Amino acid sequence: MIDRIERDGAAAAHKHMAFLRAGGSRPIMDVLKEMGVDLNSPEPFARALSVIDRLLEEMDALAVKAASKKG
């Protein structure tokens, strides 16, 4: 979901807030489908792994930068 918020801005953030407000009031698969997320397909998992990969690369770059400052 974070990649959608980064990409689509306020519209995606609004959908995410609706997802959070739904809480446990409805089946999660229904709520996610309304957001355009189909957990029956591999696509959301591939996107999630892509976000995780990007974050790990950012963390690695920060660690290298911090280590170089230590001298």
Residue with tokens 């609004």: 14
Tell me, what's the pLDDT at 6? 80
Pick from 33, 35, 37: which is nearest to 15 by CA?
35
Q: How many independent structural domains does the chain possess?
A: 1
Interatomic CA distance for residues 48 and 52, integer angstroms? 6
Domain interval for residue 61? 2-70
pLDDT range class, residue 65, cuts 50, 70, 90: very high
Q: Return the higher-pLDDT residue of 65 and 23.
A: 65
pLDDT in tens, 11-54: 888 888 888 888 888 898 888 888 888 999 999 999 889 989 99
| pLDDT score recorded for residue 45 | 93
pLDDT band at 71 (very low <50, low <70, confident <90, very high): low
